[in-house]
Chains A and B, each alone.
Chain A
Amino acid sequence: MIRLSDQAFDPGALLSDFCRDRAEVGAVASFTGIARAEAGATTVLELEAYPGFTEAEIGRIAEQARTRFGLMDLLILHRVGRIAPGEPIVFVATAAAHRREAFEGCDYLMDYLKSRAPFWKKEHGPGGERWVEPRAEDHADIARWE
């Protein structure tokens, strides 16, 4: 399942739900991304998406991950709107028969969500506001899978 939400969420509850009733799944991996305060420099993070297109593009990324790693299921929840430091911004969970596929599928999904999914992120703080550009590391992370 792929979902965007402008509401705070509980990653523990999402993970518990995701693990329920899975007799054939041997492994679940998950990742939670949390908005950083950057030592007080960021007081609010603003996440913009392109409704419809963003979900479709994430769907395409998810389908690639599902095929490549043989994932039995996956969950992606991404926040949009205004996010306070300390709040979860993204949650990804993958289910597979064995741990390696679950770990790698989760890693792959996060790398693509960071710099290939249609989101734009702005940091607001006492020093003003700033759009966040993808870093060189983000592109290097993608290159690992190509």
Chain B
Amino acid sequence: MARVLLFGPLRDLAGWREREVAAETLAELRAVLGAEDAALAVALAQPGVQVALNQAIVRGDAALSPAAEVAFLPPMSGG
């Protein structure tokens, strides 16, 4: 079970900010989300969207521990 967090425009697109998803890898997590919301799956796969696993940026696939926190981070804009 992973805790999934969406930020910025991803949150508005999906209509939620945080939820639990049963998945053992990032790829499986993307597939589960995509099966429910195809538009979200496309948005999450955009090259500008980074993924943080337990608050560290990861690239590609990764295994998810039972208490994993997965955050999808669209292009950042501060200041």
Contacts and interface: CB of A to CB of B under 8 A. Distances in A.
Interface of A: 33, 47-48, 50, 52-53, 56, 78, 89-90, 110, 113-122, 131-134, 138
B9 A118 contact: no
A48 B76 contact: no
Given A56-B55, A131-B8, A50 B79 contact: no
B79 A118 contact: no
A134 B31 CA distance: 28
A120 B79 contact: no
Given A50-B71, A115-B78, A134-B77, A120 B55 contact: no
A119 B55 contact: no
Contact of A116 (B8, B55, B76): B76
B52 A119 contact: no
Contact of B8 (A33, A90, A120): A120
B5 A50 contact: yes
B42 to A, nearest CB: 17
B73 A115 contact: no
Contacts of A120: 7-9, 74, 76-77
Given A48-B7, A48-B8, A50-B71, A117 B52 contact: no
A114 B8 contact: no
A1 to B, nearest CB: 17
B79 A114 contact: yes
